[in-house]
Structure 1
């Protein structure tokens, strides 16, 4: 991928590139770009902070030079318009795609859409409308949604109905723009309502919109139910986005028990051309840890 003229092309001052205002991009210009990954793996900011320490542009340039074709940034919604624009222009210049960001409406998700309370519905839908503008600004298509915690005083069917209604309303916001909210089953604690692939599949079928699909996070699903390939096969038609993390530890592939070579072969053989987000930490610290992470992905990438 041609990198010359990068800073000139995006037309942004050096004060936006890092705290010091110094451009670090030329330090990478002399390096030969590594081969592009066959799977579309998407790192996040901070994953290569030691190899590219001078801000978001520096990190994006480093990612592209290592062969990564996409980025995901859970916190994009909270960034300033100036920084969102900077990221988008940089990615366009580097021919990178934008992965998910989180539709985060604050602490209300802990109280949850399962409750059916109007105040939480209103907050969620307002955040969805805001997310449309951000998605347009950063050329995003997918946004992560989570329904939140169980509402213990309501039957599970009523809670499910409340979530379906909220997502139907959100789909009405996203569908005209070609945007997709991807609901993510989580394993962080037992209070979370959405935990399984079949549960997510059922909600997608009930919402019945191309704007409502599943984010299949392999780390969370290994913890919650395992049997990864068989589960993906049963729910495949509703899976629009995939995230990665080995278990235990939630670090890069090859550091835990998941056979990512087999999992990625299955995903590739299904014809998946979407993004696989690298939503995990680094197993080892520093520059050496970042090199080890990249090598791990080279090892499990499909040929």
Structure 2
């Protein structure tokens, strides 16, 4: 683990001082300059204390455990399995009425990896409404599947995340808004189900970010950042992230913030925004 103090992403609490925001490197998006298994060391060298990524499944859990331990990193989350890019299941199968067993198998696999890696969260990816299936039917299946997953995850120590994704990047995604995602979590009625609030998705579809965030605050478990329109690092687009980060400190947010963006000009070269966020 790097001892470089120019970029620190862990929480520091001093008497009379607000906690520093904690940022986790998303290894699908960051450090793509090197092969995936080398990104753990790269993230640690850059000053990150935690990582997240969507798909651990091409790798043995033991190999990922070793990479995390050697780099001194915390695993924050993984996603449930998704289909290949360009396929109908590329955003998951949670809303597919005819793929219930596939969904359940994916949750089982996701929980197996999440527990092995010590991850806090398993993101249940909602999916795109299947062709020929009414939205009401797809949504009903989604809610039923989330309820099943919540029951299955009890006792594992892993909490489940629901995320609304924007309709520009994911047309037909089953969750339309942050409030709808929160309503699903509320309907399921389990304290192990909450929201992954992604500022990038929320800005594109809803805007009014602070009000939108506050309206679902009690259900938010995890945050992710990127700046539209190009999905680069904070400070490169239209979101006033200084205000966002100050708001999170005022609200006492203690969780991780996932960095799920495509660096504009190299991962390490674009990390100054983290130092500024905790200045």
TM-score class, shorter-chain normalisation, is: 0.7 to 0.9
CA contact (8 A) 1:175 1:210 kept: no
Which residue of 78, 101, 119 maps to 1:122? Answer: 101
Size of the alignment, in residue pairs? 262
Which of 3, 7, 21 is the matching residue for 1:39? Answer: 21
Q: Is the 8 A contact 2:24 2:49 kept in 1?
A: yes
Contact 1:146/1:185 (<8 A) preserved: no
Structure with greater contact order relative to length (CA < 8 Å, sep ≥ 6): 2
Q: Identify which of 182, 187, 190 aligns with 1:201.
A: 182
Cα distance in 2 for partners of 1:88, 1:64 equals 9
For 2:195, the equivalent position in structure 1 comes to 214
Greater fraction of residues in helix: 1
Partner of 2:79: 102
| 3-state secondary structure, aligned to 1:43 | strand
CA contact (8 A) 2:199 2:209 kept: yes
Structure 1 residue 178, shift from structure 2 partner: 1.9
Report the CA distance shift for 1:298/1:32 in structure 2 as closer, same or farther (over 3 A).
closer
- Residues 291 and 105 from structure 1, CA distance in 2 versus in 1: closer, same or farther, beyond 3 angstroms? closer
CA gap of 1:32–1:81, structure 2 versus 1, over 3 A, is closer
SS at match of 1:206: helix
Cα drift, residue 75 of structure 1: 1.6
Rg comparison, structure with higher value: 1
Paired residue for 1:292? 269
Is 2:235 the counterpart of 1:263? no
Superposed CA RMSD: 2.4
For residues 22 and 134 of structure 2, the distance between their equivalents in structure 1, rounded to whole angstroms, comes to: 40
Cα distance in structure 2, aligned partners of 1:190 and 1:142: 25
CA distance in structure 1 between the partners assigned to 2:78 and 2:100 by the alignment: 20
Check conservation: 2:24, 2:76, Cα contact below 8 A: yes
What SS does the corresponding residue of 1:280 show, helix, strand or coil? coil
2:59: which partner in 1? 79
TM-score after normalising by structure 1: 0.78
1:133-159 superposed Cα distances (whole Å, 9 cap, x missing partner): 211221101111222122465554443
Corresponding residue of 2:229:
248
Q: Any conservation in 1 of the 2:88–2:128 contact (CA below 8 Å)?
A: no
Look up the match of 1:13: none
Q: 2:14 corresponds to which residue? A: none
Q: Tell me the residue number matched to 1:131.
A: 110
Whole-Å Cα distance in 1 between the matches of residues 88 and 131 of structure 2? Answer: 16
> Structure 1: how far apart are the matches of 2:139 and 2:125?
13
Aligned to 1:14: none
Aligned to 1:21: none
Measured in 1, the distance between the counterparts of 2:154 and 2:204 equals 32
Per-residue CA deviation, residues 9-64 of structure 1 (Å, 9 max, x unaligned), is xxxxxxxxxxxxxxxxxxx7xx84434233211113362354xx47635x333423
Q: Is the CA contact (8 Å cut-off) linking 1:103 and 1:143 kept in structure 2?
A: yes
Judging changes above 3 Å, is the alpha-carbon distance between structure 1 residues 54 and 228 closer, same or farther for their aligned structure 2 residues? closer
For structure 2, list consecutive stretches of 5 or more residues without a partner in the other structure: 10-19
Residues 234 and 121 (structure 1 numbering): CA distance in 2 closer, same or farther, change over 3 Å? Answer: same
Distance in 2, matches of 1:209 and 1:167, equals 10
State the 1:237 CA deviation. 0.8
Note the alpha carbon deviations across 1:226-284, whole angstroms, 9 max, x for none: 11110010001111111111011000011001011111111222221111111110101
Query: Partners of 1:63 and 1:147 in 2: how far apart?
Result: 28
